[in-house]
Homo-oligomer: A and B are copies of this chain.
């Protein structure tokens, strides 16, 4: 929050001017209020429940869902059963379900105790869907209309139920068995004559998701078509929920950050960087560093097994970093491209052959280009800058190794994420660090093998 707002809050808090505090908070957006309250709690540990109680019932629930897990847990601990029940009754079912999934068992018990039986039933419906599925991110609070309704009746119905629904801008048309027949937007209803029926106006080419669909795929579909909401149906095409655009955006952002983390060899955390304790950052990074350091034993083994060759021609060691670096970069280029394309749904497993062929052709062009460049550089610049021991045979060794390494790196870089996807693993785990380790090992092996042949050592 801005300095001014923080100071204002602090001043009013110190004056104990609750009326002014209430008015101050009333003016703000719930997202900002949540940010302010969390930040102010750090300065004034006891302020959270007091300030929270100043919010209107509706605003309170909106603010509540913006808190991170720890803050929410602390607040629940400070609220009375009655206050908790009030907040919960104002929350959307999907938000309540998300909250329950984050809280420890004793808090969950208190939450469920303070939820009305009807609400509990709806929340439980959502909780039964597996993590990461469309069912787990949908809400059951949608507007459903019947074909026979006139536009006037539909608008009256929307007016009546609007406040309990997550969106009224897309309304779904179902029959008495909840079978999804079509949808109609609020825009169409607003701009059509009141006597027309919903059945006449509805769009019946429906794009929907199944409850078991992967949540990322659902989010991508919604954004691909620029929808504000996507209906989720069961195996009999009965409407069971909707995913709204704001939730889809959250899913995409979470999945993106996960991909970035995995590529950086970090266990993903959901807390913003500055709020993450050093201990947590350490724990999210060290296992990967240890694992990758351990796997480097293989590169060590290769070098030590070729120690004689290396002693015979020490100049070879000069090019080890370059070969490993270039191999690693080639591998990252292919693997990150394939990982992102898979993630965006641009490529499918059935495209494997096409992809490998493409990478093969790119590898051909890149490897020849790099090898020629390196050969010329070695015979000119490197002989001056690095070592007078560089001769045509050494340059040839390095260039041939480059060609083989680039081919290996690009092919493996593209193939491993596809293989991971085939095995139903996250393709991102095959990202740069792992591929780099593999490519490092391979490039060293190729290097010394080529050297033995070309240089006869």
Contact between B321 and A290, CB atoms less than 8 A apart: no
Contact between A293 and B351, CB atoms less than 8 A apart: no
C-alpha spacing A374/B337, complex, angstroms: 33
For chain A, the bracket of interface size reads 35 or more
Contact partner, A205, options B29, B266, B432, Cβ 8 Å: B29
Secondary structure of the A side of the interface? Answer: helix
Contact between A223 and B249, CB atoms less than 8 A apart: yes
Contact between B321 and A324, CB atoms less than 8 A apart: yes
A408 CB to closest chain B CB (Å) equals 15
Contact between A318 and B304, CB atoms less than 8 A apart: yes
A161 CB to closest chain B CB (Å) equals 10
Contact between A347 and B273, CB atoms less than 8 A apart: yes
Contact with B along A278-300 (1 / 0, CB 8 A): 10011001101110111011011
C-alpha spacing A332/B436, complex, angstroms: 13
Known: A29-B225, A274-B354. A321 touches B303 (CB 8 A): yes
CB nearest to A271 among chain B residues: B346
Which residues in B have their C-beta under 8 angstroms from that of A191?
A: 159, 162-163
Contact between A433 and B347, CB atoms less than 8 A apart: no
C-alpha spacing A83/B326, complex, angstroms: 52
Contact with B along A182-206 (1 / 0, CB 8 A): 0000110011000000000000010
Which residues in B have their C-beta under 8 angstroms from that of A387?
A: 304, 307
Contact between B289 and A225, CB atoms less than 8 A apart: no
CB nearest to A291 among chain B residues: B329
Which residues in B have their C-beta under 8 angstroms from that of A324?
A: 321, 324
Which residues in B have their C-beta under 8 angstroms from that of A332?
A: 263-265, 432-433
CB of A207 within 8 Å of the partner chain:
yes
Kindly list the 9 A-B residue pairs having the minimum CB-CB distance in the complex, ordered from nearest: A296-B322, A264-B336, A299-B321, A226-B246, A272-B346, A273-B341, A282-B365, A300-B318, A278-B361
Give 19 A-B pairs besides A285-B366, A296-B322 with Cβ atoms closer than 8 angstroms.
Answer: A186-B186, A223-B253, A226-B246, A228-B245, A257-B344, A259-B260, A272-B347, A273-B346, A274-B346, A274-B358, A278-B361, A282-B365, A282-B366, A289-B329, A292-B329, A299-B322, A303-B321, A310-B314, A432-B432
